[in-house]
């Protein structure tokens, strides 16, 4: 615990240096005092930075602490250690051992990275991806004999790693960009460093790619090879232009049967939007929801029935996780443990199960195109464009930030509708004798 004299000095320091508004100073002192008490009691691990990460994680997982309080506590600890103490060893706690090299230091950085990702409310998949790239970066440094100590990580090491991905691993440009985003987060938020100019790195080549689009008849044949929930999923993907993860996270309250709309919440870029709900899926979807409601009722009777809610919704509305309207439209068949909260919940269906069913249907339908689940979204946009729907309306339905992204479908339309007649067809049309035009291979 901070001694009363030191506590008073800390408050006076904040006011005199104008590091915080006076009305917030007592609260900052409170959080700093709480952290030091936690550190002295816990002492596991002994490293100070990792203890800070664990302390803030403990606050974040508490049902009684709001997100803004977690941020205030983090700010209080930072002000106390970095400003008030000026980087000196803390006299109120036992002297931490020297920062270990190698894997211990990497685990410390990864723990802090995870804490900051969750504090910023990034998607869970983004958390897994960023942490994975950070681990790969540290592994690369070990294999090349470089240090992974936080004070020795440099922009040059990032440049070399990204060039290694392009040259030796031959990753795509999007994969390389994803790795870059993860390392920018590591340097900027965890290490407090700026990557600066990394223009000397070798970029993976990115050529112009047109999306794979199914024709109307191909979509019709494809849907004939699906049934049950798999058919309903495919119909929604094609009929509403949803991304597969948007469909997985769809909740009961997001389906507006009367308005013929589907509301997509927290879509790409953390944006909300609405798109069309096809008349053809309304009745099958209503029947499906009756089955899901029965499953939810059984979960409630068994003492479960709660669902994950983003942000602070579960704290703001404590009963909401168990309410019907917040449940997923396509829930998982099994209960599972939430990796962040540790609570037993029924999560949404996995995108992998959708992709598996789709691949089987493509194969059985005899479609030779390299079609994926996302192809249905491309087909939705292209077919609307072919029907004369304004491209800006399509941009809104798809949730594209830039019109240029949607414009790619105009190239697809041009390729489909503006194909010139082959000169071979013109030549053969004029040169083939009338009696030979009906010749078959058996002849």
Which residues belong to the active site? 243, 268, 374, 377, 400, 409
* Bond prior to 316 in cis (omega within 30° of 0): no
Supply the DSSP string of 46-59, one letter for each residue: --HHHHHHHHHHHH
> Helix or strand or coil: residue 275?
strand
Instruction: From 3, 224, 174, select the one nearest 93 (Cα to Cα).
Output: 3
Burial (0-12, 13-18, 19+ Cβ within 10 Å), 373:
buried
Which neighbouring-strand residues pair with 328? 251
The alpha carbon of 196 is separated from its chain's Cα centroid by a whole number of angstroms, namely 26
Element (H, E) at 65: none
Burial profile 328-340: b = 16 or more Cβ within 10 angstroms, e = fewer? bbbbeeeeeeeee
C-alpha angle 353-215-390 in degrees, rounded to nearest 5? 100
- The two three-digit tokens of residue 89, written as one number: 């060893």
User: Would you tell me how many other CB atoms lie within 10 Å of the CB of residue 156?
Assistant: 14
Supply the DSSP string of 317-350, one letter for each residue: STTGGGSGGGSBSSB-SS-EE-TTT--EE--BPP
> Cβ contacts of residue 294 below 8 Å, gap of 6+?
none
Burial (0-12, 13-18, 19+ Cβ within 10 Å), 14:
buried
Half-sphere exposure of residue 423, counting CA atoms within 13 Å on the CB side? Answer: 0
């Amino acid at each position: 615990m901070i001694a009363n004299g030191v506590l008073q000095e800390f408050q006076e320091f904040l006011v005199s240096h104008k590091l915080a508004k006076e009305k917030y100073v007592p609260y900052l002192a409170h959080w700093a005092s709480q952290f030091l008490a936690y550190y002295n009691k816990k002492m596991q691990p002994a490293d100070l930075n990792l203890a800070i990460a664990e302390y803030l994680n403990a606050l974040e997982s508490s049902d009684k602490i709001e997100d803004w309080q977690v941020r205030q506590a983090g700010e209080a600890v930072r002000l106390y250690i970095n400003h008030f103490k000026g980087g000196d060893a803390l006299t109120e706690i036992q002297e931490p051992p020297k920062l270990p090299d190698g894997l211990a230091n990497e685990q410390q950085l990864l723990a802090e990275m995870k804490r900051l990702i969750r504090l910023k409310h990034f998607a869970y998949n983004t958390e897994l991806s960023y942490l994975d790239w950070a681990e790969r970066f540290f592994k690369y440094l070990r294999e090349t004999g470089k240090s992974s100590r936080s004070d020795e990580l440099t922009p040059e090491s990032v440049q070399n790693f990204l060039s290694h991905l392009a040259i030796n691993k031959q990753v795509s440009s999007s994969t390389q960009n994803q790795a870059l985003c993860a390392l920018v987060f590591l340097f900027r938020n965890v290490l407090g460093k700026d990557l600066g100019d990394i223009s000397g790195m070798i970029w993976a080549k990115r050529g112009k790619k047109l999306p794979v689009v199914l024709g109307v008849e191909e979509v019709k044949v494809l849907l004939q090879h699906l049934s049950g929930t798999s058919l309903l999923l495919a119909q929604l993907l094609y009929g509403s232009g949803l991304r597969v993860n948007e469909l997985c996270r769809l909740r009961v309250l997001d389906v507006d049967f009367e308005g013929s709309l589907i509301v997509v919440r927290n879509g790409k870029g953390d944006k909300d939007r609405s798109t069309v709900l096809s008349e053809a899926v309304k009745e099958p979807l209503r029947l499906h929801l009756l089955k899901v409601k029965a499953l939810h009722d059984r979960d409630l009777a068994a003492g479960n029935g709660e669902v994950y809610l983003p942000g602070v919704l579960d704290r703001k509305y404590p009963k909401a996780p168990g309410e019907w309207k917040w449940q997923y439209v396509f829930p998982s068949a099994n209960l599972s443990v939430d990796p962040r909260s540790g609570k037993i919940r029924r999560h949404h269906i996995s995108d992998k199960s959708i992709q598996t069913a789709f691949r089987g249907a493509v194969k059985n339908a005899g479609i030779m195109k390299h079609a994926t689940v996302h192809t249905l979204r491309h087909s939705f946009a292209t077919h609307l464009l072919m029907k004369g729907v304004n491209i800006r309306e399509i941009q809104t339905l798809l949730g594209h930030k830039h019109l240029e992204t949607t414009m790619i479908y105009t190239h697809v339309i041009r390729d489909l509708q503006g194909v010139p007649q082959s000169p071979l067809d013109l030549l053969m049309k004029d040169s083939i004798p009338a009696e030979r035009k009906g010749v078959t291979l058996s002849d």
